[in-house]
Amino acid sequence: MEPLDLRLLQQIGPLDDQAMAEAEARQRNLTKPPGSLGRLERVATQVAGITGCARPRLTHKAIITAAGDHGVVAEGVSAYPQEVTGQMARNILMGGAAINVLARHVGARVLVLDAGAKAELSPHPALISTKVAPGTANIARGPAMSRTQAAAALKAGVDAVQAARAHGLDIVGTGDMGIGNTTPSAAICAAFTGLDPETVCGHGTGVDEQGWRRKVAAVRNALEINRPDPDDALGVLALVGGFEIGAIAGIVLGAALERIPVVIDGYISTAGAMIAVGLAPQCRPYIIAAHRSQESGHGAMLDWLQVEPLLSLDLRLGEGTGAALAISMVEAACRILDEMATFEDAGVSGREP
């Protein structure tokens, strides 16, 4: 697969100030006290700025769940065997996973982007097959991938957004499927924030205390051996990242290029967003954080990104589950902005000057 030409990212522009001003003016005239719907009002204004439409409507919704495997599972960092990545990717394609249930609930379609799963996935209408390689190398022993492979993973995400846009796309959520991927995510968090591995490593999908200690040691080794430079986001991805993390970064960048709001899921998706912002800081305003997960380093990631999550539900599943729930809230915010009556429309007396 061709790598992403990073010069393309220069095309990401700022939010539309005029659309946001018009949205804020309408918010002040809706039949409610100013600011009484809190974050919903601010999110709707943000979406107005992203889309350039003062009254945005989110009809076409999609979750793109990126899949990839990780050589670092050899260090005993996961409670599940590596073959679960492919098995769960197939489950998602068949519509049986949690993300499918929640996506149906919010009216979103689910796409699986195979960026680097070890298993071969059979053709399926919802499968985007752009496998860079069948899993990364072990980050605790050396680089995860080459810089060329990292750029190819980014392009897979950008291309996935563009392909989805051709079939209608007003908002996109990111998701992940990859056994062991909280370990490279923790390494990315530590690389950008400078925090100690013990602070940013959580228990993932349920490793015990010994598994957690192996995970901390793997992240520490990855940082000491590879020495990722936080000022070189592509290098961070190549040295300690994952193919699905790179694809998620590409989804964030692709959404910003297409002026589409992107709702990032939990720990792994936020690691991808950190890579995206490291490459193109101007994409930050296009990001909506779905939730604060149970992973111990997630709060530090969100603080680094300067984004405030919409939800806090103790989620730690991934797949895009939190993103699906948050998309429902973002759509509700935009419907309030678009459909609620103004004081003049309703014949209701406005606030006294």
249 occurs within a structural domain: yes
| Whether residues 117 and 48 fall in one domain | no
CATH number where 137 lies: 3.40.50.10210
In the chain, the number of structural domains is 2
| Whether residues 182 and 230 fall in one domain | yes
| Whether residues 110 and 36 fall in one domain | no
The H-or-E segment that residue 62 falls in is: strand 61-68
| Whether residues 158 and 217 fall in one domain | yes
175 occurs within a structural domain: yes
- Identify the DSSP state of 342: B
| Whether residues 43 and 128 fall in one domain | no
Helix, strand, or coil here: 7? Answer: helix
| Whether residues 48 and 67 fall in one domain | no
Q: What is the pLDDT of residues 204-260, one digit of tens each?
A: 777 889 989 999 999 999 999 999 999 999 999 999 999 999 999 999 999 999 999
Helix, strand, or coil here: 77? Answer: coil
From first to last of the 353 residues of the chain, give the pLDDT tens digit. 789 999 999 999 999 999 999 999 999 999 999 999 999 999 999 999 999 999 999 999 999 999 999 999 999 999 899 999 999 999 999 999 999 999 999 999 999 999 999 999 999 999 999 999 999 999 999 999 999 999 999 999 999 999 999 999 999 999 999 999 999 999 999 999 999 999 999 887 778 899 899 999 999 999 999 999 999 999 999 999 999 999 999 999 999 999 999 999 999 999 999 999 999 999 999 999 999 998 889 999 999 999 999 999 999 999 999 999 999 999 999 999 999 999 888 888 866 65
Question: How many alpha carbons fall within 13 Å on the CB side of residue 100?
Answer: 12
259 occurs within a structural domain: yes
> Are the C-beta atoms of 337 and 55 separated by less than 8 Å?
yes
Say what the pLDDT of residue 352 is: 60
Say what the pLDDT of residue 353 is: 58
Return the active site residues. Answer: 319
Say what the pLDDT of residue 165 is: 97
107 occurs within a structural domain: yes
215 occurs within a structural domain: yes
CATH number where 31 lies: 1.10.1610.10
Instruction: Walk across the sheet containing 127-129 and list its strands.
Output: 127-129, 108-116, 61-68, 171-177, 262-264, 287-289
| Whether residues 24 and 80 fall in one domain | no
352 occurs within a structural domain: no
| Whether residues 100 and 119 fall in one domain | yes
| Whether residues 190 and 78 fall in one domain | yes
Tokens, residue 303: 């603080």
Q: What is the pLDDT of residues 160-199, one digit of tens each?
A: 999 999 999 999 999 999 999 999 999 999 999 999 999 9
139 occurs within a structural domain: yes
Domain hosting 150: range is 61-330
| Whether residues 127 and 243 fall in one domain | yes
4 occurs within a structural domain: no
Q: Write the DSSP string, 221-282.
A: HHHHHH---TT-HHHHHHHH--HHHHHHHHHHHHHHHTT--EEE-SHHHHHHHHHHHHH-GG
| Whether residues 157 and 266 fall in one domain | yes
| Whether residues 235 and 306 fall in one domain | yes
Say what the pLDDT of residue 345 is: 85
Q: Write the DSSP string, 26-61.
A: HHHHBSS-TTTTHHHHHHHHHHHHHHT-SS-----E
Say what the pLDDT of residue 305 is: 97
